[in-house]
Amino acid sequence: MTAAFPLAADAPEIILAPFSPDHLTGALRLSREAGWPHRAVDWDLTLSVSKGVVAVQGGEVVGTALCSLFGEVAAINMIIVDARMRGRGLGRKLMQAVLEIGGTRELRLTATADGLPLYEKLGFEATGEIFQHQGIAKATAPELPVQVAAKVDATALAAMDRAASGLDRAGLLATIAERGELLRAERGFALLREFGRGKVLGPVVAQDAETARALLAAGATRCAGEFLRVDLTDAALAPHAESLGLGHAGGGTAMKKAARAATDSEYTTYALTSQALG
Digit-coded pLDDT (tens) for 152-196: 999 999 999 999 999 999 999 999 999 999 999 999 999 999 999
Q: pLDDT at position 10, please?
A: 55
Distance between CA atoms of residues 129 and 249, nearest Å: 13
- 57 or 3, higher pLDDT: 57
Instruction: Note the pLDDT tens digit of each residue in 17-30.
Output: 999 999 999 999 99
Is the pTM higher than 0.85? The answer reads yes
Mean pLDDT of 93-121: 97
Average pLDDT of every residue of the chain: 95
DSSP H/E element including 165: helix 154-165
Taken in order of first residue, the domains within the chain and their CATH numbers are 4-104 (3.40.630.30), 131-271 (3.40.630)
Tell me the C-alpha distance between 200 and 277, whole Å: 13
